Amino acid sequence: MKLLHKDIEKDNAGQVTLVPEEAEDMWHTYNLLQVGDSLRASTIRKVQTESPTGSVGSSRVRTTLTLCVETIDFDTQACQLRVKGTNIEENQYVKMGAYHTIELELNRKFTLAKKNWDSVVLDRIDQACDPTQRADVAAVVMQEGLANLVLVTPAMTLLRAKVEVTIPRKRKGSCTQHEKGLEKFYEAVMQAILRHINFDVVKCILVASPGYVKDHFTTYLFSEAVRQDNKILLENRPKFMLVHSSSGHKYSLKEVLSDPTVTNRLSDTKAAGEVKALEDFYKMLQHEPDRAFYGLGHVEKAADALAVDTLLISDKLFRHQDIPTRSRYVRLVDNVRDNGGTVRIFSSLHVSGERKLLLPSCS
């Protein structure tokens, strides 16, 4: 995300102009938008035209509209964001008060105006515009015939490819068809890795599976890299790390990132840091229950007593459409930070944020 302009007044009202540069930026924008905000962006509008002869036709024109936001729809798979609202500025194609839906586009600027920019939203902009916050972990979670290739960014877990290949069973006295099926499967996974992983950015590629599937695959991968003289794979071989998982399904990624050897390897990434923070909380809840609290009321009391060392909270709570409720969560975050505590805001699209979070570890 690129920040082009920022104008926030002392009363916290104002506007920012941003340019989404990659798919994940749409997720950040989704978390910035609220009902009642003002959004100005380029869009396509279907308009009717009447010729001098009286015939009516229609055409699609590009124009810039300013909407008062009413509904926000985010497609998590395609990372597409649609915003519906009423037009609040004069336009030659759209009447005042008319409804329109803007689909925000990559590399096209938009301006977002709010009556109140709170600390959580401003932190989200800082995070989105930080060039160091990128997908630095990739994972291939696999079993025979099934593989999920996932990019783990600081804000979300993105499924980039799902490979499914039917592998014939071994027959008595002959394994030829089975081996051909495996080779076809391994080749498809290899092509997915080359297509979807940016080796200039990714620091570590986790290959996880039950049994020896991961070992057989990496043997195939690098023998093919040698045969094809694929320098990208050969130069990045140290980035590959083999890990055990219970299955090849995406949900197994949670146990993979919780593995101590993985967290040590990924110690400098936010993904591993969030998973570790959650694991630490559950350990404290089990062994020192007097120091671990959850639920809004209990957490607020702990914060008022200056007893919160670390607050774990889901970004889903800040998308609440009831302003007093949202403000209550923001005040809690500000309270903890003002008193020297650490706040970790978990993304609901990240493997670490799949559970509802409002958890402090108390000192």
pLDDT in tens, 75-129: 877 778 999 999 999 898 999 999 999 999 989 999 999 999 999 999 889 878 8
pLDDT value, residue 8: 93
Work out how many domains the chain is built from and give that number: 3
Rounded to 5°, the CA angle 232-238-241 comes to 115
Helix (H/G/I), strand (E/B), else coil: 10: coil
pLDDT digit string, tens, across residues 290-310: 998 889 999 999 999 999 999
Domain membership flag for residue 147? yes
Domain with residue 21: its CATH number is: 2.30.30.870
pLDDT value, residue 268: 54
pLDDT value, residue 363: 44
Domain membership flag for residue 273? no
> What stretch of H or E contains 281?
helix 270-287
What residues make up the domain containing 312? Answer: 293-355
Q: Which amino acid is at 289?
A: P
Q: Please tell me whether residues 64 and 15 are part of one structural domain.
A: yes
Mean pLDDT over 243-260 rounds to 90
Q: Which amino acid is at 163?
A: V
Domain membership flag for residue 181? yes
Domain membership flag for residue 11? yes
Of 61-75, 101-115, 234-248, 274-288, least confident by mean pLDDT is: 274-288
pLDDT value, residue 146: 96
Domain membership flag for residue 271? no
Q: How many CB atoms lie within 10 A of CB 284?
A: 17
Identify the domain boundary among 207, 231, 266.
266
Report residue 356's pLDDT band, with 50, 70 and 90 as the boundaries: very low
pLDDT value, residue 139: 94
Report residue 271's pLDDT band, with 50, 70 and 90 as the boundaries: low
Domain membership flag for residue 281? no
Helix-, strand-, coil-residue percentages of the chain, each rounded to 5? 35, 30, 30
Mean pLDDT over 240-261 rounds to 90
Helices 213-228 and 176-196: angle between axes, nearest 10 degrees: 70
Q: How many CB atoms lie within 10 A of CB 322?
A: 8
pLDDT value, residue 23: 78
Q: Please tell me whether residues 155 and 226 are part of one structural domain.
A: yes
Task: Indicate if the pLDDT at residue 151 is higher than 50.
Answer: yes
Q: Please tell me whether residues 196 and 246 are part of one structural domain.
A: yes
Mean pLDDT over 311-315 rounds to 89
Task: Indicate if the pLDDT at residue 133 is higher than 80.
Answer: no
Q: Please tell me whether residues 108 and 149 are part of one structural domain.
A: no
Task: Kindly tell me the sign of the dihedral angle through the C-alpha atoms of 110, 113, 114, 120.
Answer: positive
Instruction: Determine contact, residues 48/58, Cβ cutoff 8 Å.
Output: yes
pLDDT value, residue 240: 95
* Predicted TM-score (pTM) above 0.85: no
Domain membership flag for residue 287? no
Q: Please tell me whether residues 87 and 69 are part of one structural domain.
A: yes
Q: Please tell me whether residues 246 and 159 are part of one structural domain.
A: yes
Greater confidence (50 vs 214) lies with: 214
What residues have CB less than 8 Å from 72, skipping those under 6 apart?
A: 30, 33, 35, 81, 82, 83, 84
Instruction: Determine contact, residues 43/64, Cβ cutoff 8 Å.
Output: yes
Domain membership flag for residue 71? yes
Average pLDDT of the chain, as a whole number = 87
Q: Please tell me whether residues 109 and 222 are part of one structural domain.
A: no
Bridge partners of residue 45, in order along the sequence = 61
pLDDT digit string, tens, across residues 154-197: 667 888 899 999 998 877 767 788 899 999 999 999 999 999 99
Q: Please tell me whether residues 59 and 146 are part of one structural domain.
A: no
Q: Please tell me whether residues 97 and 165 are part of one structural domain.
A: no
Domain with residue 307: its CATH number is: 3.30.1330.30
Helix (H/G/I), strand (E/B), else coil: 177: helix
Mean pLDDT over 255-259 rounds to 86
Q: What percent of the chain has pLDDT over 90?
A: 53
Tokens for 301? 């009391």
Q: Which amino acid is at 254?
A: K
pLDDT value, residue 272: 62
